[in-house]
Chain A
Amino acid sequence: MNTHLLSLLGGRLLVALFTLFVVSFVVFGATQILPGDVAEVLLGQAATPEAVAGLRSAMHLDDPAILRFFYWLGGLATGDLGTSYANNMPIAQLIGGRLKSSLQLAAATALFSVPIALALGITSAMLRGTLYDRAVTTATITVISVPEFMVATAGVLIFAVWLKWLPSLSIARNVDSFGELIRIYAMPVFTLSFVISAQMIRMTRAAVVEALNTPYVEMARLKGASRTRIVLRHALPNALGPIVNAVALSLSYLLGGVIIVETIFNYPGIAKLMVDAVSTRDLPLIQSCAMIFCFVYLLLITTADIIAILSNPKLR
């Protein structure tokens, strides 16, 4: 039984690693077919052909693409992300600070939105058909339909411009108090929560409603179990798989998909860094950012998968 479980989990991890490899290939390939020659771009219009050729060979640009792919992959594996074309700084250094702020924002949003979303999803499933359930469902659909730039802009307009409660920009200045921290994070966290909660609420509600319709829940009710006991002991453990998957999918959005929020609040995160890299044609930086997004995504999905496996005694 246990070896079965281990092989199941090992299989998941192998699949994740393989996916990562395939993605790295695609990311590398995609950046290769971007138009323009890096050496020419870097040296400018006045460069002599000799200078361009020299730079090309110095950057290994003349090697076959497949060779460069493996150089790059080897570098990634050993932690060497390469050097930025645009300003010659090590990419690890460029990304480091940005990744930290992005993770901070993501963590704050997750801490804020996941408990609320789960609570709303579970309670609306328990009170299915009531006014409360309909209010929650309507609200989630409304929230899904409003684009995030709209929420963010409206937030800035109301809380920063009219009420002047919160700063409109979230540049991580020197934060000296907890209150200051909350003021800085409030609006981006709030906006992002709007975006990611809706999906989690809907999936949680659907999974719990499905579990509540099963004969074993009816059986629990006929044993005299209270509503709380039915949901916590019987429905939730069986609804865990779909719920953690919905949560993982929503959270994965927090790293790569937040460019609009980061731009509006001028938050120095990694998504903004990647967009800047595209405009300066900084290929190593683009590749590294793409790989980080993919890695985090896979990490979350694989974790969700593993939790789902562990929560199911038939697979365990």
Chain B
Amino acid sequence: MSHLVEIRNLKVEATTDAGRRVDIIKGVDFDIAEGEIVALIGESGSGKTTIALTLLGYTRTGCRIAGGSIRVAGRDMARLTEKERTRVRGSEVAYVPQSAAAAFNPAQRIMDQVIEITRIHDLMPRAAAEAKAVELFRALSLPSPETIGTRYPHQVSGGQLQRLSAAMALIGDPKLVIFDEPTTALDVTTQIEVLRAFKSVMRQSRMAGVYVSHDLAVVAQIADRIVVLKGGEVQEIGTTSEILSAPKHPYTRELLAAFSPPGRVAAQAAAESDAARPVLELEAVSAGYGKPGADGTPLILAVDKVSFRLERGRNLGIIGESGCGKSTLARTIAGIIPPASGQIYFDGKPVAPHARDRSPDELRRLQIVFQSADTALNPAKSIEDILGRPLAFYHGLRGAARDARIDRLLDLVHLPRALKHRLPAELSGGQKQRVNLARALAADPDLILCDEITSALDTVVAAAIIELLKDLQRELGLSYVFISHDLHTVQAICDEVAVMYRGEKVEQLPAGDVGSAAGHPYSRLLMSSVPKLDPTWLDRLERDPELVAAFAKR
């Protein structure tokens, strides 16, 4: 008995709504030594969170541990009664949730929730617990550690909540802490602070940890060993440097390859022949939400005097952190949110601010693809109907001609034709995003606005979508405005990149030059904050404190 955690032949099965039983974890084995941090990595549906939760003896509704053993400090969590498990939870094994914003009870003060574990397990008197919490707040470099506990969850930022949730887990001095994608919902500049705080606290306390993530670069910074999972099975286990430098399993290699997609070969040829005609031009466009004030500016200005030119056949990337106005910009260009001031030119001609005042042809030539295919596709319509509607609307296609065009569209996005009779819910996430794209292509557009279309997808699937976008551009001569918070994705497809900060475009530069020393300080901060596969990156990273103070949301 040398390891803190020994998982042997773990099997978890889920019961579907139809009553069918499906194995979601198919015999997993691994160990965690005292003080060691092990990362579970894999795409969505690989079972990484399910495995992590079994360490607490917990499974989500509809799932159950079907076999095997999960020994934590000598006790088999699978064999314990529910009552014995509740005694272990929080005191010996603690959990840091994926979305701290959702995991904090909105009706309770933060302090009450952070020290709740000590109350439940009767670990120490209230005053001692509060003192310890304040100490943890300080260790996690939270602002005003003395008073932050008296606030309610909605009164602090997302990055702060994520660190507070770590304090909540560490308060009971557990032997093992489970981090469930704790930085996935954060912006990169915030993620660094949180990762650093986690790392230093874990190092000091010598606790063991399980770090669940889909992001290899993040995991590389914090984990000692990595377990690569796919479809509920272990693909490869190795130390962090082994996995990163000498991956053995093909799937691990695929993951690593997807992380650094091939850069874009600039579409110079196309651009030069047609350079005189910008497909899209924005002149000092402002837009926002709320009632316009006396001078016509909206109450909350989300886009502030943004100008750019996009030539035919070229792609513009727009990057920035959440709340910088990049999605509002896409909606403004599409005419969903009319600009408060400024002018949009499409193909050299000014277009009406509001989509309803634009001609059908203008609407047809400018299409938008939304982030979440789940909500953008009507769940009650078959794929055929979803693709058929723009064909009938823009091109008046009916009957056999329409069917033939639907088949071609499915071919274009590399989906089997047989899928057209299915409903969106019967497709995978990547397939839905392809249908979402095909729907925009149905209009036969000149320009497609892609609003974070790969954000909800797994790395490997997202890389495939990017490849598809490139193919389509080659075949159909499209232009893209590609909006994303992920620099790698943007660099993979765009010729130029515009960086947005608080509604303003701070700079625009060729994709290859992004991250170079030149340029706006905010862009430099943003680029330097993107995690790299190098395990020493976080420790070596030195950020200009003035830059951080000026731009990073803490």
Nearest to B107 among chain A residues (CB) is A237
Q: Bound state CA distance, A220 and B117, in angstroms?
A: 9
Would A313 and B106 count as touching, CB distance under 8 A? yes
From 135 to 152 in chain B, residues with beta carbon under 8 angstroms from any chain A beta carbon are: 152
Would A220 and B88 count as touching, CB distance under 8 A? no
Interface-lining segment among A26-34, A95-103, A174-182, A226-234: A226-234
Query: In the assembled complex, which residues on chain B have CB atoms less than 8 Å from the CB atom of A311?
Result: 107
Would B58 and A224 count as touching, CB distance under 8 A? no
Q: Is the interface of A mostly helix, strand, loop or mixed?
A: helix
Nearest to A316 among chain B residues (CB) is B152
Would A224 and B87 count as touching, CB distance under 8 A? yes
Chain B 404-436, CB-CB to A under 8 Å as 1, else 0, gives 000000000000000000000000000000000
A215, A220, A225, A237: which contacts B102 (Cβ < 8 A)?
Answer: A215
Would B91 and A224 count as touching, CB distance under 8 A? yes
Chain A 212-223, CB-CB to B under 8 Å as 1, else 0, gives 001110111111
From 302 to 316 in chain A, residues with beta carbon under 8 angstroms from any chain B beta carbon are: 311-314
Chain B 88-127, CB-CB to A under 8 Å as 1, else 0, gives 1111001101010011111110000000110011000000
Given contacts A215-B97, A219-B95, A313-B152, contact A224 B106 (CB under 8 A): no
Would B86 and A216 count as touching, CB distance under 8 A? no
The smallest beta-carbon distance between B158 and chain A, in angstroms, is: 14
Query: In the assembled complex, which residues on chain A have CB atoms less than 8 Å from the CB atom of B53?
Result: 222
Nearest to B92 among chain A residues (CB) is A224
Would A224 and B120 count as touching, CB distance under 8 A? yes
Query: In the assembled complex, which residues on chain A have CB atoms less than 8 Å from the CB atom of B87?
Result: 224
Would B90 and A222 count as touching, CB distance under 8 A? yes
Answer whether residue B449 sits at the interface, using C-beta atoms and an 8 A cutoff. Answer: no
Would A237 and B97 count as touching, CB distance under 8 A? no
The smallest beta-carbon distance between B101 and chain A, in angstroms, is: 9
Query: In the assembled complex, which residues on chain B have CB atoms less than 8 Å from the CB atom of A214?
Result: 102
Query: In the assembled complex, which residues on chain A have CB atoms less than 8 Å from the CB atom of B107?
Result: 237-238, 311-313
The smallest beta-carbon distance between B130 and chain A, in angstroms, is: 17
Would A220 and B105 count as touching, CB distance under 8 A? yes
Interface size on B, residues (CB 8 A): 28
Answer whether residue B56 sits at the interface, using C-beta atoms and an 8 A cutoff. Answer: yes
The smallest beta-carbon distance between B102 and chain A, in angstroms, is: 4
B60, B88, B102, B108: which contacts A224 (Cβ < 8 A)?
Answer: B88
Query: In the assembled complex, which residues on chain B have CB atoms less than 8 Å from the CB atom of A238?
Result: 105-107
Nearest to B151 among chain A residues (CB) is A313
Classify chain A: how many residues form its interface, as a range: 20 to 34
Would B106 and A223 count as touching, CB distance under 8 A? no
Given contacts A313-B152, A314-B154, contact A223 B120 (CB under 8 A): yes
Would B103 and A224 count as touching, CB distance under 8 A? no
Would A223 and B108 count as touching, CB distance under 8 A? no
Nearest to B152 among chain A residues (CB) is A313
Chain A 182-223, CB-CB to B under 8 Å as 1, else 0, gives 000000000000000000000000000000001110111111
Query: In the assembled complex, which residues on chain B have CB atoms less than 8 Å from the CB atom of A312?
Result: 106-107
Query: In the assembled complex, which residues on chain A have CB atoms less than 8 Å from the CB atom of B95?
Result: 219, 222-223
Query: In the assembled complex, which residues on chain B have CB atoms less than 8 Å from the CB atom of A218?
Result: 60, 97, 103
Would A233 and B97 count as touching, CB distance under 8 A? no
Would B154 and A216 count as touching, CB distance under 8 A? no
Would A215 and B99 count as touching, CB distance under 8 A? yes
Nearest to A222 among chain B residues (CB) is B95
Would B89 and A221 count as touching, CB distance under 8 A? yes
Query: In the assembled complex, which residues on chain A have CB atoms less than 8 Å from the CB atom of B104?
Result: 216, 219
Would B120 and A229 count as touching, CB distance under 8 A? yes
Q: Bound state CA distance, A224 and B92, in angstroms?
A: 10
Nearest to A311 among chain B residues (CB) is B107
The smallest beta-carbon distance between A37 and chain B, in angstroms, is: 52
Q: Bound state CA distance, A225 and B83, in angstroms?
A: 10
Would B105 and A224 count as touching, CB distance under 8 A? no
Q: Bound state CA distance, A233 and B117, in angstroms?
A: 13
Q: Bound state CA distance, A256 and B103, in angstroms?
A: 43
Q: Bound state CA distance, A312 and B87, in angstroms?
A: 31
Given contacts A215-B97, A314-B152, contact A226 B103 (CB under 8 A): no
Given contacts A215-B97, A313-B154, contact A222 B56 (CB under 8 A): yes
Given contacts A313-B106, A314-B154, contact A225 B97 (CB under 8 A): no
Query: In the assembled complex, which residues on chain A have CB atoms less than 8 Å from the CB atom of B58?
Result: 221-222
Query: In the assembled complex, which residues on chain B have CB atoms less than 8 Å from the CB atom of A224?
Result: 86-91, 117, 120-121
B97, B99, B105: which contacts A234 (Cβ < 8 A)?
Answer: B105
Would A314 and B103 count as touching, CB distance under 8 A? no
Q: Bound state CA distance, A223 and B169, in angstroms?
A: 8
Query: In the assembled complex, which residues on chain B have CB atoms less than 8 Å from the CB atom of A226?
Result: 86, 120
Would A233 and B108 count as touching, CB distance under 8 A? yes
Would B86 and A219 count as touching, CB distance under 8 A? no
Query: In the assembled complex, which residues on chain A have CB atoms less than 8 Å from the CB atom of B60?
Result: 218
Q: Bound state CA distance, A234 and B103, in angstroms?
A: 11
Query: In the assembled complex, which residues on chain B have CB atoms less than 8 Å from the CB atom of A225?
Result: 86, 90, 116, 120
Chain A 236-249, CB-CB to B under 8 Å as 1, else 0, gives 01100000000000
Given contacts A215-B103, A234-B105, contact A220 B154 (CB under 8 A): no
Query: In the assembled complex, which residues on chain A have CB atoms less than 8 Å from the CB atom of B97?
Result: 215, 218-219
Nearest to B60 among chain A residues (CB) is A218
Given contacts A311-B107, A314-B154, contact A220 B116 (CB under 8 A): yes
Q: Bound state CA distance, A225 and B105, in angstroms?
A: 14
Query: In the assembled complex, which residues on chain A have CB atoms less than 8 Å from the CB atom of B89?
Result: 221-224
The smallest beta-carbon distance between A221 and chain B, in angstroms, is: 7
Q: Bound state CA distance, A218 and B121, in angstroms?
A: 17
Given contacts A225-B86, A313-B152, A314-B152, contact A216 B91 (CB under 8 A): no
Q: Bound state CA distance, A119 and B121, in angstroms?
A: 27
Query: In the assembled complex, which residues on chain B have CB atoms less than 8 Å from the CB atom of A313?
Result: 106-107, 152, 154
Q: Bound state CA distance, A223 and B86, in angstroms?
A: 8
Query: In the assembled complex, which residues on chain B have CB atoms less than 8 Å from the CB atom of A314?
Result: 106, 152, 154
Chain A 132-169, CB-CB to B under 8 Å as 1, else 0, gives 00000000000000000000000000000000000000
The smallest beta-carbon distance between A162 and chain B, in angstroms, is: 47
The smallest beta-carbon distance between B119 and chain A, in angstroms, is: 9
Q: Bound state CA distance, A222 and B108, in angstroms?
A: 17
A216, A229, A233, A237: which contacts B103 (Cβ < 8 A)?
Answer: A216
Q: Bound state CA distance, A313 and B60, in angstroms?
A: 29
Q: Bound state CA distance, A224 and B97, in angstroms?
A: 15
Q: Bound state CA distance, A313 and B113, in angstroms?
A: 15
Q: Bound state CA distance, A313 and B150, in angstroms?
A: 12
Q: Bound state CA distance, A221 and B117, in angstroms?
A: 10
Q: Bound state CA distance, A222 and B154, in angstroms?
A: 22
From 530 to 549 in chain B, residues with beta carbon under 8 angstroms from any chain A beta carbon are: none
A215, A221, A229, A237: which contacts B108 (Cβ < 8 A)?
Answer: A237
From 34 to 75 in chain B, residues with beta carbon under 8 angstroms from any chain A beta carbon are: 53, 56, 58, 60
Q: Bound state CA distance, A216 and B98, in angstroms?
A: 11
Would A223 and B102 count as touching, CB distance under 8 A? no
Query: In the assembled complex, which residues on chain A have CB atoms less than 8 Å from the CB atom of B168?
Result: 223
Nearest to B88 among chain A residues (CB) is A224
Q: Bound state CA distance, A221 and B93, in angstroms?
A: 12
Would A216 and B102 count as touching, CB distance under 8 A? yes
Selected A-B contacts with CB under 8 Å, 9 pairs: A214-B102, A218-B103, A219-B103, A220-B116, A222-B95, A226-B86, A226-B120, A234-B105, A234-B108
Given contacts A224-B89, A314-B106, 6 further A-B contacts (CB under 8 A): A216-B105, A220-B116, A221-B89, A223-B94, A225-B116, A314-B152
A binding-site residues for B, Cβ under 8 Å: 214-216, 218-226, 229, 233-234, 237-238, 311-314
B binding-site residues for A, Cβ under 8 Å: 53, 56, 58, 60, 86-91, 94-95, 97, 99, 102-108, 116-117, 120-121, 152, 154, 168
